[in-house]
Structure 1
Amino acid sequence: MIKTEDIINIASYFTIIAHTPGRLRVRVNPKIKSESENISIEDIESLPKKIDGIKKIKINKIIASVTITYDANVFKPQVWEDLINKQNLEEITQIINNLAKEVM
């Protein structure tokens, strides 16, 4: 089961390729494989079922990218920018916890 801390940690492996309100595409650092004991691809792909506002997550292993489709009214675009840049993490943790559909 994925936790908020895991989301913040995993985000540290991402760099933004493209971002428009409602759609974020990130490059994934190959070093993320070191996290495989803590989080799986299935955990990441299941986030839309667990957190309101995340509509879809598409993982492309071949080009090492992740595309996240989200509701820009629920997750302001700046929240994603801050998450990737490790800024305002306490606020982001509160937002994620408030939007969690189940105990994570």
Structure 2
Amino acid sequence: MIKTEDIINIASYFTIVAHSPGRLRVRVNPKIKNESNNISIEDIEQLPNKIEGIKNIKINKIIASVTITYDSKVFNPQIWEDLINKRNLDEITQIINNLAKEVM
């Protein structure tokens, strides 16, 4: 099971490529492979089933990008910017925990 702290850690490897309300595309730093946790790509792809407001996560391994579609009424677009830039993490943790179906 993926934890909120894992989501925050994973996001630290992202750089925003494009962002419009409801759709976020990020480039993934290859150093994420050195991460010593037990989070799989499948865990990440299953986040829409575990967090209300995330509609879909599409991972493109070839170009090292992730596209996240989300409900911008549930997740203010600024939250994504803050998450990736490591700002307001306490607030983001609280929001994720409140929206979580299975995330701990």
Q: Under TM normalisation by the shorter chain, which class is it?
A: over 0.9
Provide the rounded CA distance (Å) in 1 between the counterparts of 2:95 and 2:42.
Answer: 22
Provide the rounded CA distance (Å) in 2 between the counterparts of 1:59 and 1:10.
Answer: 13
Aligned residues with identical type, % of pairs:
87
Partner of 1:82: 82
TM-score in terms of structure 1 length: 0.97
Structure 1 stretches of at least 4 aligned residues deviating more than 3 Å after TM superposition? none
Q: CA deviation at 1:34?
A: 1.5
Match runs of 1:8-27 below 5 Å: 8-27=8-27
TM-score in terms of structure 2 length: 0.97
Query: What runs of 5+ residues in structure 1 fail to find an aligned partner?
Result: none
Count of equivalent residues: 104
- RMSD of aligned residue pairs (Cα, Å): 1.0
Partner of 2:33: 33
Provide the rounded CA distance (Å) in 2 between the counterparts of 1:19 and 1:79.
Answer: 12
Q: CA deviation at 1:21?
A: 0.1
Provide the rounded CA distance (Å) in 1 between the counterparts of 2:94 and 2:71.
Answer: 17
Query: 1:8-64, CA deviations, whole angstroms, 9 ceiling, x for partnerless residues?
Result: 000000000000000000000000011263311011000000000000000000000
Query: What runs of 5+ residues in structure 2 fail to find an aligned partner?
Result: none
